[in-house]
Structure 1
Amino acid sequence: MTSISPELHLVDFANTAPNTLQQQVISAIDAANAFLDELAITVDNKESANALDTKQALTDIKNFDHINLALDRSWGILSHLNSVMSNDEIRQVHHELLPKLSAYGTWVGQHQPLFSRYQAIVNDKAFFAALEPARARAIELALRSFELSGVALPKAEQDKFAAIQSKLSTLSATFSDHVLDATQAYALPLKAEQLAGLTESGLALVADAGEQFKAREIASGALTQAEIDALPTPYYVASLNIPVYLAIMTHADDRNLRETLYRAYVTRASEFDEHANAKGESLNNADIMRQILQLREQKAKLLGFDNYAEVSLSTKMADNVAEVENFLRDLAAQATPTAEQDLAQLQKYAQDYGIKDLQPWDSAYIAEKVKQSEFSLSQEEIRPYFPLAKVVSGLFAIVERLYGIKVKEQSNDSANKSVNDNTDEVLASRWHDDVRFYQLFDADDHLIGGFYFDLFARSGKRGGAWMSGFQSRYTYAEQDHQQLPVCFMVGNFTPALDGKPSLLTHDEVVTLFHEFGHGLHHLLTQVTVGDVAGVNGVEWDAVELPSQFMENWAWDAEGIALISSHVKTGAPLPKEKLDALLAVKHFQSGMQMLRQIEFALFDLLIHAQTPALDYDGILTTLNSVRQDIAIVQTPDYNRFANGFSHIFAGGYAAGYYSYKWAELLSADAFSKFEEDGIFNPMTGKAFRETILSVGGSFPAKVNFENFRGRSANIDALLRHSGFADAKNHTKNQTKNSAAANASTTSKVI
């Protein structure tokens, strides 16, 4: 077993109870408030800020940062558990704490004595200039955060701001609850004839969903054990959990079943969703969305902005709403011709299957038929070549070649054992049996950090995939405190079923690489100032660069050779299937691009609108964006926005465009590897040192230009997307176009 360093400060999940975490959060807030109360009397002007002792001001800031570690830890654990192991107890404690957390955060952001200490450091120009870059950057970002927290507002308006923040935190949590509850409440028992077309793995998934359905019905008292026993075995059930949903939408021959499931998925948490939560309350998010937009607008007005989109962009690389909108619409114009060809191809094949009018619930199904016919490729045929264990070991081999790092897994027999700081060998406790823990080492066996994989879909876990930078790299020399980075990487992949190992689709492989890119950004930082270590302090529209960049190795022949081998025979992916997989990379890329732009433009516009939109206005805006961007008609009942957790319950409000913005960066960064060799160790070293290691200690534009030697341009993105005439695209654009400005303005990279 690999010994685990105490500098990782691992969590004892086996002995972590929600009520204990609640007390820890409250105690941490009380301790931080006590420290703030002891700071000097409020300093109201620049002159008195200058009178503060600068060195003492910096000491106070460092001390306060260190005090907040306890809060970051206890709240981080609780928030994580609420995402991956949600139940009534965890959810109740989590939600009870939200107003207290919000009040504390606002109090800190409006605390004049603390703010004055930051001002004093900046005002002492010689002292500030002598600071290490990471500390200087953290202070600059903190001052901006104070301004965006209303530090300069009159007391009455500060109180109003605090109330808005508190209400927003509660509404966002409720939005997320509704989406999770609506997703997991849906269960559709399937008849034998509805199973036609489903693959072996698909049948295993709906059978597993049936077992989960039985367990829930027994637990809730909806069915007796005798009634459960009377059900057939296996009992097939369709659910809205992503692996099941995609298996049916991609392979089920029953068009009515696909439409039924599609409608259920796109009407979650809307007025068409009749499910209720455990308290019998509606899961409809309509009014919550209205309230969130209204409160965000009020917050923006208090801070002196015209709308919330301006607030969001004030911390990003992009300068203003018009710039982002132009960027998105220009990209849509480039993608549309390819998208129209994509659609025509689907429509042609749909005719062969008796579908005269292609609908959204047909797209994945027909696309799979096209892949099989045009590329001789089926996701199910190649799934056995991507067993999870092989993919993970290959992923680790790839990053070892790129960055000279090594990954070692903690032995599985330590699962759910407690952390024991009194022994030389610390055991990694886990929150679920599926979870795996790893340590990351440099080439000289120097420990870098640790990470957890929680990769399979299950009940009580919110959908999607994400990386949570739970614990940052951090040093507090005054108390000889060393903290190495630790993160959680979470997915909702196809689990092991029927005694077989987990076999991933290539889409799931790409998602794993994406999240691991985020993880490397967090883990490989050399910055020890927590606020700008790893992903912290990185502009939101650049934070996706390392993740999208990492996806490229899942699409390269050399990379695929390392992550694939047949689960039974160990044979490599046959050349014809490899060629087909690489050929299919650009399949439907135009339609996929337009779909993401549709989401991003909708997000931007609803947050740029003033006065704030009501629910009808939200739907009208979405329909308007679809008319401008989409080339496939969407059913009137589609309520995608009601489940758009990224912007209503996550950090992407007026920032969903960041995926496309960062994709431009990542494509151009990878083009350097295409020039030098995708496993070129010197290029990998340069990327690690200029992008991954520096975190948010410098502006993202500076980091990118340090790596690439120039500003980014759009050529590589268009080429990687498979769009025609990409090579000469930027040369033919006018000086005022958004894409041309991407290489000349200070923020449009």
Structure 2
Amino acid sequence: MTSISSDLRLVDFATATPSMLQAQVINAIDSANAFLDAMTDTIDNSTSALEDVMTFDHINLALDRSWGILSHLNSVMSNNEIRHVHHELLPKLSAYGTRVGQHQPLFNRYQTIVNDTAFFATLEPARSRAIELALRSFELSGVALPKAEQEKFAAIQSKLSTLSATFSDHVLDATQAFALPLQEEQLAGLTESGLALLADAGEQYKVRQLASGVLTQADIETLPTPYYVASLNIPVYLAIMTHADNCDLRETMYRAYVTRASEFDKHTNAKGESLNNADIMSQILSLREQKAKLLGFDNYAEVSLSTKMADNVAEVEAFLRDLAEQATPTAKQDLAQLQKYAKNHSIDDLQSWDSAYIAEKVKQSEFSLSQEEIRPYFPLPKVIDGLFAIVERLYGIKVQEKSESVSRWHEDVRFYQLFDADDHLLGGFYFDLFARSGKRGGAWMSGFQSRYTYDEQDHQQLPVCFMVGNFTPALAGKPSLLTHDEVLTLFHEFGHGLHHLLTQVTVGDVAGVNGVEWDAVELPSQFMENWAWDAEGIALISSHVETGEPLPKDKLDALLAVKNFQSGMQTLRQIEFALFDLLIHGHSPALDYDGVLATLNTVRNDISIMQTPDYNRFANGFSHIFAGGYAAGYYSYKWAELLSADAFSKFEEDGIFNPATGKAFRESVLSVGGSFPAKTNFENFRGRSASIDALLRHSGFDSSKNINAANAQTTQEAV
């Protein structure tokens, strides 16, 4: 288990320059277009049709690879050169993608295969599923449209790809443009780790100010050391919002964060252009509606749901509103608790910028738990080792680090190989876990390379993925020390990673996370979080950074007791986002910016139990739906949480490290990827349809309302 297998086909990031990747993307598109140009309407038989389909899939590997690398670098190492090349290629990629989706001879190949029912029945399930999904994709790409409307569809797709990229740029630029040097009196309450983060941000601030000519070296030398600067990078922002005693500072930070890329944000990009996303949002919604109408749908939400587990908009809305009703009694108790403690800290009128601060005070008082007190017990190396130990017990897999043997895009990145119990190599993955300049916020798993086999050219490749976070970096000679929230994020993304890596499917389009319905793709990730909430799991991932002592029982008990702390308000917040997303995409005619804000206010009035400031422009930074894949699909987090809670309840019944149950989950869900419908995979594991009971119990809502009444409705709706 020492050498790096050629089947991993790892990237040499040292030579992966933007210009080289650009040339590779263009060459790959040209090769694929040449194949399409040569394709005629004549098809000999189903066998030759399948051969053409598989050959074309193989040709597209080069494009998937080169564009995948460039997109990844644009997310984790963004600079002007990478961004320029990335954006310059978007119209070309969009035009190519539209051409494929509307290419009649290629479409005819797929139809020929399906229409030959005897031949189609002989195909392996993964291949037949991939073909069925491809036919649906053709329909959603406008293959049946008249020529003039196909051209209109292509123009819409191209414009949408550019607008989404610009939206994302504006959020990143607005986040990084904010810097607030702090005075001594503003630092009260901040923890040692928080101050270290602010000092590190201060050093970065000096470098930027010097490079831009705003400050001279002489100016820099007059600044105090350490020099504390507040930024909107998540670790810094959360450190202030959770611990800063200065209410004015918290409000300043909150206002800056929730007005990013809005009409209140006066920052500009390198070209001097406004970062306001308002017009981009209305353009995106208008174009999505036009696309929906061309395809024969009433609105874009219907387009989105046509590829998901949920059947229609009404079903999703009913699911969300019912869950909100279940959560509201608990949420009101949560708010009352915060308001009580706010008064104890001389805050008579609890505001949005106070909630995290007061919540931390409640945890310290009610549960004797402080995130800062437990942070030393979760040093990242120990958490990672424990995570690997947990999945070894569950699935019989083993992880080996090989960071120094491979090329990486940044010195902080780590690389690992994943092996089965018999030392058979399954795949490889990268961790890029720390916040830094030029890196998109949030956390995600990118299934860069799928498991895939093409016997005609003796081509085999193993799955490889990138798992990315924005955790607090190592500071003051200590390893990165995680909050428990960050631990949960790592487990979540690793759950996605296992879904990608443990697949046994070799048809790329349905291997790993590919082809999995969007509202089920969060099942393995949310499922994995459960082991970071279990006493036995926590014992494996925790030890004090200096003494090596395990998490003391009183802190463990407090951590487990706090699991459902504020769960009602947090659930309502997620439902607020999901319902807003669903409604703006389900509205026809498409909403302008004022309509978007009005819809958000209506949803808040319906769902939220705490007043939101009028200036809050959360939607302007809602990258999930305007620059990601979650448009009319943000509800997927709660939908999949129902599935995940119910799946984990099987482990609760059998034992959370029961190897037979772990084997069953691996074989029924993780190994099969998108080769069967998610509903089938879930029921194969659970032996029945999904139930809402476990979700309500795990969230602490089981006594809020009559579960049986909710279950009767939601079981039917959920799957």
**Bucket of the pairwise TM-score, normalised by the shorter protein:** over 0.9
| C-alpha distance in structure 2 between counterparts of 1:147 and 1:357, whole Å | 54
Percentage identity across aligned positions?
Answer: 84
Instruction: Please tell me the residue identity of whatever aligns with 1:553.
Output: W
| C-alpha distance in structure 2 between counterparts of 1:222 and 1:505, whole Å | 36
Match of 1:313 among 287, 294, 305: 305
> 1:344: which partner in 2?
336
| C-alpha distance in structure 1 between counterparts of 2:509 and 2:33, whole Å | 20
Partner-residue secondary structure (3-state), 1:429 = coil
> 1:631: which partner in 2?
609
Partner-residue secondary structure (3-state), 1:520 = helix
> 1:533: which partner in 2?
511
> 2:31: which partner in 1?
31
Match of 1:743 among 695, 715, 718: 715
Please give the residue correspondences for 1:242-641 in structure 2 after superposition, counting only pairs within 5 Å.
Answer: 242-410=234-402, 412=403, 414=404, 427-641=405-619
Structure 1: 5+ residue stretches without partners: 44-50, 415-426, 734-738
**Alpha carbons 1:29, 1:104 under 8 Å: kept:** yes
**Alpha carbons 1:2, 1:409 under 8 Å: kept:** no
CA shift for structure 1 position 16: 1.1
| C-alpha distance in structure 2 between counterparts of 1:640 and 1:729, whole Å | 34
| C-alpha distance in structure 1 between counterparts of 2:83 and 2:210, whole Å | 22
| C-alpha distance in structure 2 between counterparts of 1:52 and 1:661, whole Å | 45
Instruction: Please tell me the residue identity of whatever aligns with 2:283.
Output: Q
Which segment drifts farther, 214-223 or 443-452? 214-223
| C-alpha distance in structure 2 between counterparts of 1:592 and 1:601, whole Å | 14
**Alpha carbons 1:455, 1:490 under 8 Å: kept:** yes
| C-alpha distance in structure 2 between counterparts of 1:740 and 1:629, whole Å | 23
Two-structure CA RMSD over aligned residues (Å): 0.9
> 1:418: which partner in 2?
none
CA shift for structure 1 position 218: 1.3
Partner-residue secondary structure (3-state), 2:190 = coil
Instruction: Please tell me the residue identity of whatever aligns with 1:236.
Output: Y
CA shift for structure 1 position 506: 0.3
| C-alpha distance in structure 1 between counterparts of 2:703 and 2:247, whole Å | 37
Match of 2:165 among 170, 173, 197: 173
| C-alpha distance in structure 2 between counterparts of 1:278 and 1:372, whole Å | 44
Partner-residue secondary structure (3-state), 1:581 = helix
Instruction: Please tell me the residue identity of whatever aligns with 2:692.
Output: I
For 1:23-76, what per-residue CA distance to the aligned partner results, in whole angstroms no more than 9, with x for missing partners? 0000000000000111113x7xxxxxxx64100000000000000000000000
**Alpha carbons 1:715, 1:729 under 8 Å: kept:** no
Partner-residue secondary structure (3-state), 1:332 = helix
**Alpha carbons 2:341, 2:358 under 8 Å: kept:** yes
Q: Aligned pair 1:672/2:672, yes or no?
A: no
Partner-residue secondary structure (3-state), 2:521 = coil
TM-score by length of 1: 0.95
> 2:17: which partner in 1?
17
Which segment drifts farther, 545-554 or 218-227? 218-227
CA shift for structure 1 position 563: 0.1
**Alpha carbons 2:142, 2:150 under 8 Å: kept:** yes
| C-alpha distance in structure 2 between counterparts of 1:570 and 1:108, whole Å | 57
**Alpha carbons 1:712, 1:742 under 8 Å: kept:** no
Q: Aligned pair 1:78/2:73, yes or no?
A: no
Q: Aligned pair 1:137/2:115, yes or no?
A: no
Q: Aligned pair 1:684/2:662, yes or no?
A: yes
For 1:106-145, what per-residue CA distance to the aligned partner results, in whole angstroms no more than 9, with x for missing partners? 0000000000000000000000011000000000000000
> 2:628: which partner in 1?
650
CA shift for structure 1 position 740: 2.5
Instruction: Please tell me the residue identity of whatever aligns with 2:330.
Output: T
| C-alpha distance in structure 1 between counterparts of 2:702 and 2:446, whole Å | 37
CA shift for structure 1 position 499: 1.4
**Alpha carbons 1:178, 1:269 under 8 Å: kept:** yes
| C-alpha distance in structure 2 between counterparts of 1:597 and 1:255, whole Å | 28
Instruction: Please tell me the residue identity of whatever aligns with 1:237.
Output: V
| C-alpha distance in structure 2 between counterparts of 1:52 and 1:621, whole Å | 54
Partner-residue secondary structure (3-state), 1:15 = coil
**Alpha carbons 1:441, 1:448 under 8 Å: kept:** yes
| C-alpha distance in structure 2 between counterparts of 1:531 and 1:729, whole Å | 42
**Alpha carbons 1:78, 1:94 under 8 Å: kept:** yes
**Alpha carbons 1:209, 1:239 under 8 Å: kept:** yes
| C-alpha distance in structure 1 between counterparts of 2:210 and 2:137, whole Å | 50
Partner-residue secondary structure (3-state), 1:454 = strand
For 1:359-408, what per-residue CA distance to the aligned partner results, in whole angstroms no more than 9, with x for missing partners? 00000000000000000000000000000000000000000000000000
Instruction: Please tell me the residue identity of whatever aligns with 1:26.
Output: I
| C-alpha distance in structure 2 between counterparts of 1:501 and 1:438, whole Å | 19
Instruction: Please tell me the residue identity of whatever aligns with 1:731.
Output: N
Structure 2: 5+ residue stretches without partners: none
CA shift for structure 1 position 2: 2.8
| C-alpha distance in structure 2 between counterparts of 1:266 and 1:495, whole Å | 24
Length, aligned pairs only: 719
For 1:629-670, what per-residue CA distance to the aligned partner results, in whole angstroms no more than 9, with x for missing partners? 000000000000000000000000000000000000000000
Match of 1:97 among 89, 102, 106: 89
Please give the residue correspondences for 1:229-244 in structure 2 after superposition, counting only pairs within 5 Å.
Answer: 229-244=221-236
Instruction: Please tell me the residue identity of whatever aligns with 1:233.
Output: T
| C-alpha distance in structure 2 between counterparts of 1:593 and 1:732, whole Å | 20
> 1:7: which partner in 2?
7
CA shift for structure 1 position 579: 0.2
**Alpha carbons 2:693, 2:702 under 8 Å: kept:** no
CA shift for structure 1 position 447: 0.1
**Alpha carbons 1:35, 1:64 under 8 Å: kept:** yes
CA shift for structure 1 position 724: 3.7
